[in-house]
Structure 1
Amino acid sequence: MGDYTGRIEIGRPPAEVFAFLADLRNMPRYLPTVTRVGPQGHHDQHDDVAVEGEADGHQYRNDGWVKAEPEARRMRWGSHTMQDYGGSLSVTEATGGSAVELKLSLTPKPEVAERMQREHGNVDHGMRLAVERTLGSIKTACEKGPAGQEGDGSSADDLHDSRPFGSSATLNPDI
């Protein structure tokens, strides 16, 4: 299993950024492979969720869990079917707004690992790039102005570029 981390600063207050990310209905705005996220019940420790979407031309659905810790501005998640998959996200104060730190633990499926090896030279490099693109996508979604204008000049292509990570971040069984 690989562990991957990344950090990005966002020009919005930490409470606003965390509220946006903790609202699972916003997930399709920064993970384009996701088409739908829905609650599946509540346990003492976490909320069960179902995630649906499309990645690499394949529809997927996976059941997992998300634990939001608003007082710490932290979220943790995992899969009920993929024991080697999990992650966390934390939002802290930073100069000019917030910092988001993303941690992901997973072992890509063999076909995904082969593709990353082919496209990026090795799996770790491909995963690091995917984490960076996903953080860029989160930044774009959080800083987007009310009229659909970009808040910082980020490219809308950032949303498209997060697809490789988006499928794994959303419990896609294909990774």
Structure 2
Amino acid sequence: MGEYERSIKIQAPRRQVEDFMSDVSNLPKYLPTTKRAEPQQGERVRVEGEAHGHHYDSEGFFRVDKSKNRMEWGSEGEERYRGWLAAKGDESKGPTEVTVHLSFEPSPKVSRSLEEPTGSQEQTINESLDHALQSLKNLVEGTGGKIEGRAER
């Protein structure tokens, strides 16, 4: 299983960042591959999108842990992954440092597609995480929108 972690500083109070990133309806606004996200019963979420030429429609967990100032998500399906997005900083003034951490074990088919034709799996996943963080920054700061990139293809 691969472990990936990236960070970015957002010029906004921590509470504003947390409120935006923990709203399930905002996930498609900043996650590169996600096209739709719907809360399900309890701590469940259903997400749909396309990653590396493969459509996905899956259900997983999504929870907000206010004691750790982060949200956590994951799936137990064919593509086993879990991660967290945490915010550090003052609750009422910026900047806020946001860190995303992903543990990902792709199926052999998806693993091959992550490495073709332009680079390594690690590079592709890190690029997707950077796009998600930059999109989150753009939206919270009001300076732009979602970053589209190679993760969409």
What is the identity, as a one-letter code, of the residue corresponding to 2:23? D
Moved more, 3-12 or 60-69: 60-69
Q: Which position in structure 1 is the counterpart of 2:128?
A: 130
What is the identity, as a one-letter code, of the residue corresponding to 2:102? L
* Runs (4+) off by over 3 Å: 54-59, 118-121
Instruction: Classify 1:132/1:16 alpha carbon distance in 2 versus 1 (closer, same or farther; 3 Å).
Output: same
Q: Which position in structure 2 is the counterpart of 1:30?
A: 30
What is the identity, as a one-letter code, of the residue corresponding to 2:22? A
Whether the aligned pair in 2 keeps the contact of 1:14 and 1:92 (CA below 8 Å) is: yes
Q: Which position in structure 2 is the counterpart of 1:4?
A: 4
Q: Which position in structure 1 is the counterpart of 2:39?
A: 39
**What CA distance in whole angstroms lies between the structure 2 residues aligned with 1:129 and 1:56?**
13
**What CA distance in whole angstroms lies between the structure 2 residues aligned with 1:12 and 1:104?**
24
Q: Which position in structure 2 is the counterpart of 1:60?
A: 56
Q: 1:159 aligns with which of 134, 144, 147?
A: 147
Instruction: For CA contacts below 8 A with separation 6 or more, give which structure has more relative contact order.
Output: 2
Whether the aligned pair in 2 keeps the contact of 1:22 and 1:75 (CA below 8 Å) is: yes
Whether the aligned pair in 2 keeps the contact of 1:116 and 1:123 (CA below 8 Å) is: yes
**What CA distance in whole angstroms lies between the structure 1 residues aligned with 2:19 and 2:102?**
20
Alignment of 1:109 with 2:107, yes or no, is yes
Q: Which position in structure 2 is the counterpart of 1:76?
A: 72
What SS does the aligned partner of 1:63 have? strand
Cα deviation digits, residues 86-123 of structure 1 (max 9, x gap):
00110011794101000000023333332332344322
**What CA distance in whole angstroms lies between the structure 2 residues aligned with 1:36 and 1:143?**
23
Cα deviation digits, residues 30-73 of structure 1 (max 9, x gap):
1243232122211xxxx011112234555421010011012331
Whether the aligned pair in 1 keeps the contact of 2:49 and 2:57 (CA below 8 Å) is: yes
Cα RMSD (Å) of the superposition? 2.6
TM-score (normalised: structure 1) = 0.74
TM-score (normalised: structure 2) = 0.83
**What CA distance in whole angstroms lies between the structure 1 residues aligned with 2:54 and 2:117?**
20
Moved more, 132-141 or 78-87: 78-87
What SS does the aligned partner of 1:76 have? strand
Gaps of 5+ in 1: 145-149, 168-175
Identical-pair percentage: 32
Gaps of 5+ in 2: none
